[in-house]
A = this chain, B = another copy of it.
Amino acid sequence: MHAILDEGLICHLSFVIDGEPAVLPTLYARVAGRLYLHGSTGSRPLLAALSDDGLPVSVAVTIIDGLVLARSAFHHSVNYRSVIAHGRANLVREPVEREAALAAIVDRVAPGRWADCRPPSPQELAATAVLQLQLAEVSAKVRTGGVIDEPADLALPYWAGVIPISTVRERPVPDRDLAAGLPLPPYLAAQ
């Protein structure tokens, strides 16, 4: 489960407001047995729903690995790896823990980046909400492998197979104001 959490780029965070379901995409990082969730734009309702003893949430991280095209419509499927965590998320109030969580979130999307950017000022740190969720109630689902068709369908004249899907990081595009001669750092070039 940790491997899936450490590969996904975003999670979908679900919570309840006034009895109604809500869902938000957001950045996250795993640190040991905890998930840290970035309080992104759009999370104002989430933060408003947070009480002192936290907020029940359900968090999903899903990685799509392939489309499985069977001869029969019924056996079409998707290869995927998914983790769902349930629990009570709490606002991280301690600035030191919040900064460590933000470092983990930045390094999650670009390992090595935190050490190579300007750290947050106290004001910036105060303006960034981070939630913490203990990974206690966690389940994983994985579908892998090839097509599974009914034996009677194997001779049907339909192509069958798997279309692998991957998430690709393309060549970095430098900011137009980048100081001349500032090279792409090795931790970005290696991807």
A interface residues (Cβ-Cβ under 8 A, vs B) = 9-10, 12-16, 19-25, 27, 41-42, 56-60, 62, 64, 67, 69-74, 76, 78, 80, 82, 84, 86, 102-103, 106, 109-110, 113-114, 116-121, 124, 127-128, 141, 146-147, 149, 153-179, 182-185, 188, 191
Contact = CB atoms under 8 A, between A and B. Distances in A.
When all copies of this chain in the complex are counted, the total is 2
Given A25-B80, A27-B78, A72-B117, A185 B167 contact: no
B73 A118 contact: yes
A23 B60 contact: yes
Contacts of A167: 64, 165-168
B73 A10 contact: no
Nearest to A99: B73
A175 B146 contact: yes
A58 B22 contact: yes
Most chain B CB within a 10 A radius of its CB, from A19, A71, A106, A110: A71
